[in-house]
Amino acid sequence: MERLKSALDHALACHPDADRLILLGDLTHSGKVLEFERLKSLTDQCPIPVTFTLGNHDNRDHFRNVFANVEPDENGHIQSVIDIGDYRMVVLDTLDGPPFRNYHHSGKYCAARQSWLDQQIATAEGRKILIFMHHPPMDVGFPGMDAIKLADGNAFLKRYAHKATHLFCGHIHRTISGTTNGLGFTIFKSPVHQMPMELSGTESSYSVPEPGAYGVILLTENSIIAHTEDFDLANDVIEPRDDAHPE
Ligand SMILES: [Fe+2]
């Protein structure tokens, strides 16, 4: 939680004009009520509206008990929609749960959740769809993590890739971008620990103490721009270089 606080302090100092903070999950390590309470005490102080995305380390019931102010969808999933300008951001709940240690680490997007997403897309009134979800539906080249991506990810992409403009995911703990089924995607690093560049390992629990980071998304009329900020390394005060613009 200290690392998240540090990331949040840095982000709020550098980007106080942000419209929204989206936490892509995991929100906790083991889904305990106490962990969600600690998270709430932090995010309650955030002056920017916060949207939460559940991950495989979370527990939906415990989240709902602590974050009673967060409205679930009609089936109790933590899914939400944010309209900003010409964009509709849909934040999906891919947790295959509920209780931690009694479910799969891979993600799930069931028929009820698909029905919710279909409805959000159908009512978007021309806005471009941006999908936010913890589990990537596609492989990223790390065998250990690909084994716990969104189950039935191919079917998800067949159904939604052509309806969305960009996809943002968590779960992997490494900066990755590319396209899948014609859909551009961005995966951000974690504020805590990172996935090593290990393309042959079959474990999902690799971790290296590379600097923590958060992403900054800029939405313009024609572009979706994703920055990543290693807040541990970044300088709070940026001085111009003497030779930046020689006369
Ligand atoms: Fe995860």
CA of 172 to the centre of ligand 1 (A): 7
SS3 of 168, please?
Answer: strand
CA of 135 to the centre of ligand 1 (A): 7
CA distance 71 to 238: 40
CA distance 229 to 247: 31
Taking the complete model, does pTM exceed 0.85, yes or no?
yes
**Contact 130/117 with Cβ under 8 angstroms?**
no
**Domain architecture of the chain: domains with CATH:** 2-229 (3.60.21.10)
CA of 213 to the centre of ligand 1 (A): 16
Interval 14-59: pLDDT, tens: 999 999 999 999 999 999 999 999 999 999 999 999 999 999 999 9
Average pLDDT over residues 216-242: 85
Whole-number average pLDDT of the chain: 93
CA of 158 to the centre of ligand 1 (A): 23
CA of 56 to the centre of ligand 1 (A): 5
pLDDT reported for residue 210: 87
CA of 26 to the centre of ligand 1 (A): 5
Kindly tell me the burial class for residue 72, based on how many C-beta atoms sit within 10 Å of its own C-beta (0-12, 13-18, 19 or more): middle
CA distance 174 to 187: 7
CA of 76 to the centre of ligand 1 (A): 20
SS3 of 34, please?
Answer: helix
